[in-house]
Amino acid sequence: MPDTTNNSSSARVVDGAIPAALLAAVRSERPLVHHITNTVTINDCANITISSGAAPVMAEAPEEVAEMVAAAGALVLNIGTLSAAQVEAMLIAGRRANELGIPVVLDPVGVGATRLRTETAQKLLDTLDIAVLKGNAGEIGVLAGTGGSVRGVDSGGVAGDPVETARECARSTGTVVSMTGAVDVVTDGSRIYLVGNGNPAMDRLSGTGCMASSVTAAFVAVADDYTVASAAALAAFGLAGERAACGACGPYSFRTGLFDDLAGLAPDDLARGARIEEH
């Protein structure tokens, strides 16, 4: 959990009506979220997007991605199972999204584990205008250059304070950074939001990080403020995880509950249950 003792006196609880309004907008507008993502979690990402209230499309052929992304409200780039053709598709789709002002969410899965992943993530950050960089603590630490460790695609944590790591990453990359953990940290380098929603069961199920990126994309698709929208998305996803854990007897019943509870989450539920602080 991030150490926030130095700035706890300046913490402000975010009005639950703000994330609730964003969830209502997702449900009302049903934005299309274009994914170029990994093969391990692709179906779960599609279904969690539907559960959030948005619509998914999974298209990565270089020949069609520019046309497909033009119809989308947001683009997710996930480097979980990389190939040369996929990287080419990401660059084509990302450039077209930038031309059209469509927000791009980058999930640098396993960055730091191999040179290919690290170089690809850095190339995407250098080449494209990334709206939100969503990763775990180890991944964000690697990209911030402040020290982070990754084993396979799992976070090994960061060397220093997670909040400062996320803020440094946001400042150095020029993106909103959404760093998941026991307490999620969302920052644009200036504002800092801490999100207290979630459950440890989410860490014991493959794909929840990828799903969090999909939910984030659904929220930023309907928002002007990507920092607030990213925090709201993690609060909604985390609250669904809390509810799913109450009735779960194991990882797969939890997985089912996660979809069901996000789909059943009403804006009023999020208004009451979101735990977001601005520091």
- Higher-scoring residue by pLDDT: 76, 162: 76
Asked if residue 5 is part of any domain, the answer here is: no
Residue 207 counted as an annotated binding residue: yes
**Between the CA atoms of 131, 137, 140 and 142, what dihedral angle is there, to the nearest 10 degrees?**
-170
Q: Residue 104 sits in a domain of what CATH number?
A: 3.40.1190.20
pLDDT of residue 149: 46
Number of neighbouring beta carbons within 10 Å of residue 161: 16
The answer to whether residue 42 sits within a structural domain is yes
Q: Mind giving me the DSSP string for 76-97?
A: EEE-TT--HHHHHHHHHHHHHH
More confident residue, 161 or 237: 237
User: Is residue 134 marked as binding?
Assistant: yes
pLDDT of residue 147: 60
Give a yes or no: residue 120 inside a domain. Answer: yes
> What is the pTM for the complete model shown?
0.93
The response to whether 58 counts as a known ligand-binding position is: yes
> Does residue 126 sit within a domain?
yes
User: 159: pLDDT confidence band, cut at 50, 70 and 90?
Assistant: low
Question: Is residue 92 assigned to a domain?
Answer: yes
pLDDT at residue 3, as a whole number = 43
| Percentage of the chain exceeding pLDDT 90 | 87
Q: How many domains does the chain have?
A: 1
Q: What digits encode the pLDDT tens for the residues 255-270?
A: 999 999 999 999 999 9
CB 221 within 8 A of CB 54: yes
- The mean predicted confidence, pLDDT, of the chain is 92
What pLDDT, on the 0 to 100 scale, is given for residue 113?
Answer: 85
Q: What is the pLDDT of residues 180-238, one digit of tens each?
A: 999 999 999 999 999 999 999 999 999 999 999 999 999 999 999 999 999 999 999 99
